[in-house]
Structure 1
Amino acid sequence: MRLTEDIKQLIVKCMHDDLSPVEKDALTSWLAESPAHRNYLDDLLQKEELMVDLKQWILVQESDTTDWTERLKTKTLASIHAQESPNRVRRIRRIIPFAAVLCSFVLAGLIYQFVWKPSAPNTNRIVLHDVELPNNHAEIRLSNGKVIQLDNGKGALVTSGELKYADGTLIQSTDPNTDLVATVNTPAGNMLQITLADGSQVTLNAKTSFRYPLQFPKDQRLVEVNGEAYFKVAKNKKVPFRVKSNGQLIEVTGTEFNVNTYSKQKSSTTLVEGSINLSANGQQIQLKPNQQAILSEGRLSQKSVDPHNYTAWIDNKFYFNETDLHTALQTIGQWYDLQIIYKNTIKETYLYGEIQRTKSLSAVLEILKRSNIQFELIQENGIRKLLISN
């Protein structure tokens, strides 16, 4: 069983209610790293007499500000010096188990406090009046293991024999004979445009992952997206452009369309111009402009829509036009990095309005106020939450 000095110090800080979140995580990791740790503590906690002694011991420790390891050392030395018999070494050995029990008491108290003791009301709750846009950076991970944090001020990415920014700044030179693959991840409050090696353009919305080869093979153009992306595909009738996304495959030769797979339960593909062949689970449909395909519960369906309702984000706008509340709040939460929590069953509500996504959250939430939606903006344990009720 591993009980290092670091763990002991964390135990001491816990007893003084002085653990930081990082230190709490360290203790939790220690408990999880070996079944022996958990089993040992469980065995201790099952003994009623031990729990009584533990509570008494805690009260004593709280009344004494001396470090517990120093107190243990003092008591041990006092016991040794009080005995001058030839059995001194044997007595020292008899003291060691008491020290181990003392450590066990402290650790058992820790488990009681963090695992079995009823949790006290969360005091780490802050009421927020507004939220500015996160200033996080997108990153690109290359298949050679290199990870690059992108510069928000440099704008779009361009792939044409090498990876660079739109202003010409080189990011990564590439060997024409290598099959280097890139995965781009965008954070909340951030969108990114990428020009692919064939001239196709892809705009990524916030919290989106996009995987693509820096150079397409001669006979294939295949990419993958998870999140939301808008495609302007360069025409090439000989080599179709394929997009894999949430269990579906989209195939085009030259067109513009939007893919939204934020929800794993329901994906949408909206066609702006051209045509699309879309397949999933053995089903296949073809879309014409102003049509949308829905993949839900493994089934494909299609309907006529106004594409602007689903593509305004590429102009950095929120656009709500008879948009149901849950869809609108999911969109807002993705952009501002909010957890949306419904405090009760919300009646069917539709939102209307248009606003730039560069605005602070309070300006966007005015749309909710106009629809008589009650909400509270808070932060708990570093997580920003929007509580909804009506």
Structure 2
Amino acid sequence: MIPYIEQLMLEKLSGCISAEDDAELLQMMEAHQELKVVYKGLEERLGEPVAQEYLAHLDEDALWEQRKYHFKKRRSNKWLYAAAVFILLVSSSLFYFLHLPVAKPLAAKGIVLQLANGQQIDLSDTTKKGTLKVGTTEIHVSGKSLTYDNGAGGAETVMNVLRVPAGKDYKLVLADGTEVWMNAKSEIRFPMAFNAGKREVTISGEAFFSVKKDPARPFIVHAGEVSVDVLGTTFNINAYGSPRIALASGKVVVKGSNSDKAVALSPGFEATYSQHLFSIATFDERNTLGWMSGKYYFRHATLKEIGAVINRWFDIEVVFENSAAEHLDLTGILTRQDGLNDFLDNLEKTTGIQYEYKNGILRFR
């Protein structure tokens, strides 16, 4: 990161930034969304218990003597010793956390909850069904869903991550009562409690949201290069590729990170974000939401597109040894309950495409 921008971020994190510099930093973060992501990441990581423990054992005086030369006066800024020491602490922790190994997901291909402190809980472990106590939070786990109660209220706003692997799906109920259905190969970043101003989560993959209405706290979902602002509504976000937002009920406003335009959606319409532009079209609810009942309806889809669904739903690697097979135009239905055998047999009979499934790899020849 450019040192000048890093210094501005550190000033803002410490609360010592001037109004002029704050406005400049905000302008840069609005123009370059990657800077906003970096800043939010720093803010979240510095709130983690492990970060607080690290900062608690630093020698401020020694740190100041070692690193005070890093700071230069800009404009009319007058650095107070206490403020500068605090920024050095943040800077030191920034260096520390940029080099701290990130906890790797559990090796088992199960549903994993990674808490903000790095602890990982395998939700597929049947011994963990029931109620788990994590700090002041009670987490209620069943075979297909997770809910939680934050007894202490709104302090725990650092982000946790729920990962749903290939071959699985899962339901999460957030602190405000919002329900989130997660498709296979998806994850969501969420807090144990929302703050007073707004409710924010981030997803990758695909999820269906039923948002609890709260006019005082807008609900914001970030997915790749788009964000979705809602109050109370139901909608689907597919972010496996170009983000696609389909509105089932209510009203949402979608925004692109590289676009100054916001698009309001009405029920029955979807917005697809590609090359910094939104395209709006109606959508077939059966096709778009069929995944929630384990059905994938496809119309004029390529076998390559269907192969991506097979990979997610059945945790099978799909390989095309026949390049022509990738572009095969197909219409039909694939169901998780029936498995792949009937689908593949029918595919071979109707198209002549041959396949082989061995050692977890499906090859089309």
TM-score bracket for the superposition, by shorter chain length:
0.5 to 0.7
Partner of 1:344: 323
Look up the SS of the partner of 1:227 in the other structure.
strand
Look up the SS of the partner of 2:185 in the other structure.
coil
Which amino acid letter does the alignment assign opposite residue 356 of structure 2?
A: L
CA deviations on 1:129-153 (whole Å, 9 max, x unpaired) are xxxxxx9420000011211000376
TM-aligned CA deviation for residue 257 of structure 1: 0.9
Partner of 2:165: 187
Task: Note the residue ranges of structure 2 that are not aligned, 5 or more in a row.
Answer: 1-107
Partner of 1:249: 227
TM-aligned CA deviation for residue 350 of structure 1: 2.2
Larger relative CO (CA 8 A, sep 6+): 1 or 2? 1
TM-aligned CA deviation for residue 289 of structure 1: 1.2
Partner of 1:278: 254
Alignment of structure 1 residues 108-257 onto 2, 5 Å? 136-151=109-124, 154=129, 161-166=137-142, 175-176=152-153, 177-257=155-235
CA distance in 2, matches of 1:156, 1:387: 43
Partner of 1:12: none
- Is contact 2:318–2:363 with CA below 8 Å preserved after alignment? yes
CA deviations on 1:40-70 (whole Å, 9 max, x unpaired) are xxxxxxxxxxxxxxxxxxxxxxxxxxxxxxx
Is 1:388 aligned to residue 361 of structure 2? no
Alignment of structure 1 residues 1-390 onto 2, 5 Å? 136-151=109-124, 154=129, 161-166=137-142, 175-176=152-153, 177-263=155-241, 266-280=242-256, 281-282=258-259, 283-342=261-320, 343-346=322-325, 347-355=327-335, 357-369=336-348, 371-372=350-351, 374-379=353-358, 384-389=360-365
- Is contact 1:228–1:259 with CA below 8 Å preserved after alignment? yes
TM-aligned CA deviation for residue 219 of structure 1: 1.1
CA distance in 2, matches of 1:174, 1:258: 30
Task: Note the residue ranges of structure 1 that are not aligned, 5 or more in a row.
Answer: 1-134
TM-aligned CA deviation for residue 213 of structure 1: 0.4
- Is contact 1:353–1:367 with CA below 8 Å preserved after alignment? no
| Cα RMSD, aligned residues only | 3.2
- Is contact 2:177–2:212 with CA below 8 Å preserved after alignment? yes
CA distance in 2, matches of 1:268, 1:295: 6
How many residues get paired?
249
TM-aligned CA deviation for residue 363 of structure 1: 2.8
CA distance in 1, matches of 2:346, 2:228: 35
- Is contact 1:161–1:197 with CA below 8 Å preserved after alignment? no
CA deviations on 1:184-223 (whole Å, 9 max, x unpaired) are 1111111000111111000111111111001111111000
Q: Aligned in 2, Cα 1:348/1:317: closer, same or farther, shift over 3 Å?
A: closer
TM-aligned CA deviation for residue 314 of structure 1: 0.9
- Is contact 1:375–1:386 with CA below 8 Å preserved after alignment? no
Q: Percent identity?
A: 26
TM-aligned CA deviation for residue 267 of structure 1: 2.1
CA distance in 1, matches of 2:255, 2:147: 38
User: Could you list the runs of 4 or more consecutive aligned residues of structure 1 that deviate by over 6 angstroms after TM superposition?
Assistant: 167-174
CA distance in 1, matches of 2:302, 2:294: 20
Asked which structure has the greater CA Rg, the reply is 1
